[in-house]
């Protein structure tokens, strides 16, 4: 018995030592291969064997944190990744050419100063066999508004009436020509099917919708996974052009678990959290076939002044004080850590429309001088703001509190959860400033998309810029139709004007980290997949068949 006890003790001690050693052992070998350079996302094995596997990428397994639902509106969130391939879309931006293209409109043009004509293809069929006409297109536009989907896009809706001219022609009557109308992504819905659902809309449309796109949802388990299969036929293209036969989208409640699944080769594509990205930067892929790329989402975080609610912001010296009194690089790093990407202009530096507007060096002395010039001594100015209690807003609040104290500005910050914060923001007078990002400014990374909140009243009260020249330039971007040169000029000028006069203060670009299995996908494909934060535009990738061979 005594001997047995001794053996047991030794065994227990060994187990303890082994467990503790296993937990503390550095299993990485820094400095070896596959350590990626920050921000470049150099692939560690895009062409692993040199010989293309014909089955590579036939099934793509994607990890997401929210499976979302189809056609559910913005709240609850709409699953845009799956919608993108289940439905045909009115207008979308080609990520390569940055040009607007349409799935179901054959052509679109301004007939005169008021009539925007959209002509549909006449051979569109839904997955249930129904034939699509202009009635369906019109229904799609109105049901899009009705269900509150992408409510921000409603700022693009400025037609007065619509008309169905013939079976395949839809006409929008607008007060004047504008570019925004051809930027609204509207999924083509089957009116007959949608109306037949009546009260069962949420049960059917959220999970098994009828679309005219190349894929259909064949399996949906709420909060778990969905399977999208290539249809037997697609009205627009020969189905053999499509390489990907099946998308399996799996929901993970924890992003780190999702990353570990990528590391283990169990998923092929997923968003990566900043903590895991930092781990990736430190350790690399450790010889495993995956890679993580960092890219801007096209969205810029910036400080907005509540021009309408507080007239003090008309004073340029005050705005300048803040422009010099905040170290935007440090603030951006505080907010984004390893994923920081600078932004001096209102659009990110990797946008094709970006203009080098210059850069202000952090200068607290000069800031205090500007503040005095604006008429405020130390402690004489108090500003209030309500921020969301999310990590990025909290970091922003922490940073801004420091710089305001340095400048001698009193700050009153309240934190609230997302819905309470938004409810606070829409009430005029509640905030003197705020941090916002160009929510819908990601598709083209263009100036028009990026600043629409600064140019439209309604919604969040403190984002509107009450500056005549700024609004004039925005008007050119939105309404100038014929003269492309004038639009380009306005795009450049508005960026420079915004910087020179501290109209809006950009902090940093919003970034997203995408991990992918290098045995299945190439970096080029992954970059082609997306041009929206966390939304994979799958349709584009699956038909670029040459990239798979």
Partner 1 sequence: MLRYILKRVLWVIPVMLGVVIIVFTITYLTPGDPVMTILGSGYTPERYAAKAAELGLDKGYFGQLVAYIWNIITRLDFGKSYNSNIPIVQEFAARYPISVSIGLLSCMLIAIIGLPLGILSAVKQYSVLDYSLTTLALIFAAIPSFVLSILGLVIFGVKLGWLPVSGLDSFKSWILPVLANTLPGVAGIMRMTRTTMLEVIRQDYIRTARSKGLKESVILRKHALKNCLIPLVTIFGGMIAHTTAGSIIVENIFNIRGMGTYLYSAILARDYPVINGCVLLIAFVVCVMNLLVDITYAFIDPRIRSQYEKKRVTRKKITTTKAEVA
State which residue, 6 or 237, has the beta carbon closest to partner 1: 6
Per-residue contact string for residues 140-169; x = within reach of partner 1 by CB under 8 A: -----xxxxx-x--x---------------
Tell me if 198 contacts partner 1 by CB under 8 A.
no
The angle formed by the CA atoms of residues 426, 430 and 435, to the nearest 5 degrees, is 70
Strand-pair category, 535-536 with 530-532: antiparallel
Tell me if 224 contacts partner 1 by CB under 8 A.
yes
Tell me if 32 contacts partner 1 by CB under 8 A.
no
State which residue, 28 or 410, has the beta carbon closest to partner 1: 28
How many Å separate Cα 296 from the centre of its chain?
9
Question: In whole angstroms, what is the distance from residue 249 CA to residue 219 CA?
Answer: 10
Structure-token pair, residue 67: 């499976």
Tell me if 427 contacts partner 1 by CB under 8 A.
no
Binding segment (CB under 8 A) for partner 1, from list 215-223, 400-408, 476-484, 491-499? 215-223
State which residue, 18 or 218, has the beta carbon closest to partner 1: 18
Contact set for partner 1, span 225-284 (CB under 8 A): 251-254, 256-258, 260-261, 263-264, 266
State which residue, 202 or 427, has the beta carbon closest to partner 1: 202
Tell me if 457 contacts partner 1 by CB under 8 A.
no
Do residues 225 and 258 touch, judged by C-beta distance below 8 A?
A: no
CB of 76 to partner 1, least distance (A): 5
CB of 322 to partner 1, least distance (A): 30
Question: In whole angstroms, what is the distance from residue 125 CA to residue 122 CA?
Answer: 9
Tell me if 75 contacts partner 1 by CB under 8 A.
yes
Do residues 342 and 329 touch, judged by C-beta distance below 8 A?
A: yes
Per-residue contact string for residues 404-423; x = within reach of partner 1 by CB under 8 A: ---------------xx---
Tell me if 219 contacts partner 1 by CB under 8 A.
no
CB of 222 to partner 1, least distance (A): 5
Question: In whole angstroms, what is the distance from residue 296 CA to residue 507 CA?
Answer: 13
Tell me if 74 contacts partner 1 by CB under 8 A.
yes
| Cα pseudo-dihedral 367, 369, 373, 374, rounded to 10 | 30
Closest among 528, 489, 536, 539 to 95, alpha carbons compared: 528
Question: In whole angstroms, what is the distance from residue 235 CA to residue 498 CA?
Answer: 46
Do residues 162 and 171 touch, judged by C-beta distance below 8 A?
A: yes
Beta bridge partners of 93: 100
Binding segment (CB under 8 A) for partner 1, from list 21-29, 293-301, 324-332, 333-341? 21-29
Specify the length of the chain in residues. 549
Do residues 65 and 137 touch, judged by C-beta distance below 8 A?
A: no
The angle formed by the CA atoms of residues 461, 466 and 472, to the nearest 5 degrees, is 125
Number of residues that bind partner 1 (CB under 8 A): 43
CA-derived radius of gyration, the chain: 26
Tell me if 222 contacts partner 1 by CB under 8 A.
yes
Q: Enumerate binding residues for partner 1 (CB under 8 A).
A: 5-6, 8-9, 12-13, 16, 22-23, 27, 69, 73-76, 145-149, 151, 154, 202-203, 206, 221-224, 251-254, 256-258, 260-261, 263-264, 266, 419-420
């Amino acid at each position: 018995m005594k001997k047995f006890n001794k053996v047991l003790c030794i065994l227990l001690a060994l187990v303890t030592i082994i467990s503790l050693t296993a937990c503390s052992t550095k299993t990485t070998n820094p400095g070896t291969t596959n350590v990626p350079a920050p921000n470049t996302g150099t692939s560690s094995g895009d062409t692993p064997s040199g010989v293309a596997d014909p089955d590579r990428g036939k099934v793509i397994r994607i990890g997401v944190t929210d499976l979302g639902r189809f056609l559910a509106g913005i709240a609850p969130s709409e699953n845009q990744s799956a919608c993108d391939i289940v439905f045909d879309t009115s207008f979308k931006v080609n990520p390569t050419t940055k040009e607007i293209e349409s799935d179901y409109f054959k052509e679109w043009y301004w007939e005169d100063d008021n009539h925007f004509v959209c002509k549909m293809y006449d051979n569109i069929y839904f997955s249930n066999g129904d034939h699509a006409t202009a009635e369906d297109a019109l229904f799609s536009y109105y049901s899009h508004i009705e269900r509150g989907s992408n409510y921000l896009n409603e700022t693009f809706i400025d037609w007065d009436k619509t008309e169905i001219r013939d079976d395949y022609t839809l006409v929008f009557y607008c007060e004047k020509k504008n570019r925004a109308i051809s930027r609204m992504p509207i999924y083509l819905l089957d009116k007959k099917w949608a109306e037949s659902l009546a009260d069962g809309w949420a049960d059917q449309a959220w999970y098994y919708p009828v679309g005219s796109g190349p894929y259909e949802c064949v399996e949906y388990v709420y909060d778990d996974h969905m399977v999208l299969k290539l249809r037997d036929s697609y009205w627009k293209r020969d189905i053999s052009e499509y390489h990907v036969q099946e998308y399996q989208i799996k929901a993970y409640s924890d992003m780190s678990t999702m990353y570990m699944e990528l590391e283990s080769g169990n998923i092929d594509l997923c968003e990566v959290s900043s903590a895991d990205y930092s781990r990736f930067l430190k350790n690399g892929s450790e010889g495993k076939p995956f890679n993580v790329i960092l890219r801007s989402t096209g969205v810029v975080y910036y400080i907005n002044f509540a021009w309408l609610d507080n007239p003090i912001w008309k004073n340029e010296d005050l705005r300048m004080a803040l422009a010099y009194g905040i170290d935007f690089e440090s603030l951006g790093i505080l907010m984004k850590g390893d994923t920081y990407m600078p932004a001096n202009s209102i659009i990110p530096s990797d946008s094709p429309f970006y203009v080098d507007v210059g850069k202000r060096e952090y200068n607290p002395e000069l800031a205090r001088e500007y503040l005095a010039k604006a008429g405020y001594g130390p402690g004489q100015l108090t500003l209030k703001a309500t921020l969301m209690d999310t990590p990025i807003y909290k970091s922003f609040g922490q940073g801004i509190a420091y710089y305001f104290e340095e400048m001698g500005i009193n700050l009153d910050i309240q934190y609230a959860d997302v819905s309470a914060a938004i409810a606070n923001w829409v009430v005029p007078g509640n905030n003197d400033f705020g941090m916002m990002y160009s929510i819908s400014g990601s598709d083209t990374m263009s100036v028009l998309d990026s600043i629409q909140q600064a140019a439209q009243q309604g919604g969040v009260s403190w984002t509107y810029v009450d500056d005549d020249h700024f609004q004039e330039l925005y008007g050119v971007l939105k309404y100038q139709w014929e003269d492309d040169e004038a639009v380009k000029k306005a795009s450049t000028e508005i960026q420079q004007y915004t910087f020179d006069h501290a109209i809006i203060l950009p902090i940093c670009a919003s970034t997203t980290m995408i991990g992918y299995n290098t045995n299945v996908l190439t970096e080029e494909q992954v970059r082609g997949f997306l041009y929206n934060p966390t939304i994979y535009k799958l349709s584009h990738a699956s038909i670029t068949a040459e990239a798979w061979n």
